[in-house]
Amino acid sequence: LGKIRSKSQLVNQDLKKFLNTKEGRMVAALVREFLIHFNLDYSLAVFDPETNIGEKYEGRDALARELNILESDDSSRLPLLAEVVKRMSSSGAKGRSL
Amino acid sequence: LGKIRSKSQLVNQDLKKFLNTKEGRMVAALVREFLIHFNLDYSLAVFDPETNIGEKYEGRDALARELNILESDDSSRLPLLAEVVKRMSSSGAKGRSL
């Protein structure tokens, strides 16, 4: 754990900067919610100290609100990222000409 | 590593099912690209065996194409998830009445 902390303090200025933006916090929270959703406990045990986002994470409900996602029975069975990607794909198909 | 593998085989039927969908693969790839982007090597070293997605990951360019993201100088400085969240926020503000 000590090794993880000292490495992340050295090289992760980029991540630190990113996590100081609203967008960055939402991204990291989406990743964390994905790990929690699928019980990826080992990944989470490393992810939290390596990113330091654990303490800023306010839970799925708060994150869904920030993303303007109204949860349905369907969406609540999957990580929020699934809903995000679903919307991204459908808006891509509708909104953009390629 | 052995412990991680055997645990993930036992409890992660949900994840396995999810990764067999196109959406699920895109979600996991976005998470992996985030970890790679910020050099979260320790997280990645656990994430890959715990999820088994490493071998299915085709890289950032392929993922951007799948998500209809045309990269700019700005977007390429951040993980793809940042672009996804950015679009999600702006389309949420425009497209939905709350």
**Dihedral (CA of A22, A27, A30, A35) sign:** negative
User: How large is the average pLDDT for residues B54-77?
Assistant: 90
What the block records as the tokens of A85 is: 């990607």
Q: Could you tell me if B1 lies within 8 Å of chain A, comparing CB atoms?
A: no
**Count H helices, E strands: chain B?**
6, 0
**A residues 18-47 closer than 8 Å to B (CB):** 18, 23-24, 26-27, 30-31, 34-35, 38-40, 42-43, 45-47
Spell out the domains of chain A, with CATH numbers in brackets.
2-95 (1.20.960.40)
- pLDDT at A38 (0 to 100): 96
A98 by Cβ neighbours in 10 Å (0-12 / 13-18 / 19+) ranks as: exposed
Shortest distance, CA A61 to any CA of chain B (angstroms) = 16
Neighbour-count burial for B2-13, b at 16+ CB within 10 Å, e otherwise: eebeeebeeebe
Mean pLDDT confidence for B70-90: 90
Helix/strand/coil percentages in chain A, nearest 5: 75, 0, 25
The verdict on A98 touching B (C-beta cutoff 8 Å) is yes
Please give the pLDDT value at position A73.
Answer: 87
Among residues A47, A90, A98, A94, the alpha carbon closest in space to that of B23 is found at: A90
> In the prediction, which pLDDT does A28 show?
96
Tell me which chain B residue has its CA closest to the CA of residue A81: B27
In a mutational test of the A interface, the residue from B38, B70, B86 whose CB has the highest number of chain A CBs within 10 Å is B38
More confident residue, A29 or B54: A29
| Of A42 and B10, more confident | A42
A85 and B84 within 8 Å at the Cβ level: the answer is: yes
Give residue A75's pLDDT.
Answer: 86
Q: How far is CA A15 from the centre of its chain?
A: 13
Q: State the sign of the Cα–Cα–Cα–Cα dihedral A32, A34, A37, A41.
A: negative
Within chain A, where are the H helices? 2-11, 13-19, 22-37, 41-51, 60-66, 73-76, 80-95
Q: Which residues contact A19 (CB under 8 A, 6 or more apart)?
A: A25, A28, A51, A52, A53, A56
DSSP assignment, residue B20? T
Answer whether residue A80 shows pLDDT above 60.
Answer: yes
Q: Which of B19, B27, B75 to mutate to probe the A interface, most A CBs <10 Å?
A: B27
Kindly list the distances between the CA atom of residue B98 and the CA atoms of A65, B85, B95, in Å, as whole numbers in the listed order: 11, 19, 10
Q: Do A42 and B7 touch (CB under 8 A)?
A: yes
Residue A54 has pLDDT above 80, yes or no: no
